[in-house]
Every structure is written in structure tokens, then in C-alpha cells.
Amino acid sequence: MEGATESDGGLTHLDRDGSARMGDVSAKPQTRRRAVAEALVRMSPQTAQIVLAGDAPKGDVIGTARLAGIQAAKRTDELIPLAHSLPLSHVDVRIEIDGEDGIARIEADAITVASTGVEMEAMMACSLAALTLYDMVKGLQRGVSIERVQLLEK
């Protein structure tokens, strides 16, 4: 049984019985799509300085978190039940650490040529990069927090 379509203004992820379903994007043109997301990780300035110096006991915090974010973007469809599988053309994860304020700013950029957007891939990249950063520093400090995962641009 078919559900609503985006063009008729209906809910695209529900069928007529109200059950969740993947939206049908087959009628949409394939175009270049880009999304940028951000996450913030708050830690003490002392922990941030250790990360910046590359002296964390678990190794390269920034490099590991970047790779985890890229991997997460590529596997978004495995983790979000109604997400489409997308051929990603590009994923970049940038991490800036403010050693004075103890803030890690993670920004992810995802690009594809497809019939649907890459917002979830960009936000997934930020989320897992933030979780990985947390995991890498949790032995140095309790109370590290992940804040404000959000879409910046699409």
C-alpha cells in the first residue's frame, strides 16, 4: 500500500496505516547535494591542552575522532532505519580545539549526487566523532559533555 509523497504535502515516512516506511525518492532528480553539521564537546582546559599536545594516553585523539566521523557518515543507512543508502562523493571532518576554553568544535561536510540529501550523514559524522573524542579522553576527565549536534547548512 502506498503512502503520501513529498509532492502532495503528506508525511513521507508513513504508509496509509500509519506504519513507518522509507520515503520514495525515485521521482526526484539526482543533483549535487551537500550538508554541513557541527557538534561541540566541552572539557576542561587542561584536558584540551593534553589533546592539543598529542599526549593523551589513548593516542591521537583528533585523528581517531576524524576517522570515526568519516566512517560513521559512510554507514548512516545501517544505523538510522529509514535512511537511504547514498554513494558519498566526499566526507570531511574537521576538529578545532580551543585550549583556553576547553571546547572541541567538530564540523562535518558531506557531499553526494543523489535523489535525497546528506544531512543525516553530516550529523552522524559529527555525532560519532564527538563520541569518539569523549571515549578517548574519559580516562583524563569525568564530566566531559557533548553539546549541540546541529545542521548548519544544506
Catalytic option among 24, 77, 92, 135: 135
The three three-digit cell numbers of residue 45, written as one number = 582546559
**Phi–psi pair at 53, nearest 5 degrees:** -75, -10
DSSP 8-state code for residue 8 = G
Scanning the structure block, which residue is given the C-alpha cell 502506498?
2
The three three-digit cell numbers of residue 22, written as one number = 522509507
Active-site residue 109, yes or no?
Answer: no
Instruction: Compute the distance between CA of residue 24 and CA of residue 12 in angstroms, rounded to an integer.
Output: 8
Burial 46-65 (b: 16+ CB within 10 A, else e): ebbebbeeeebeeeebbebb
Scanning the structure block, which residue is given the C-alpha cell 559512510?
74
The three three-digit cell numbers of residue 122, written as one number = 553530516
- Residues designated catalytic: 135
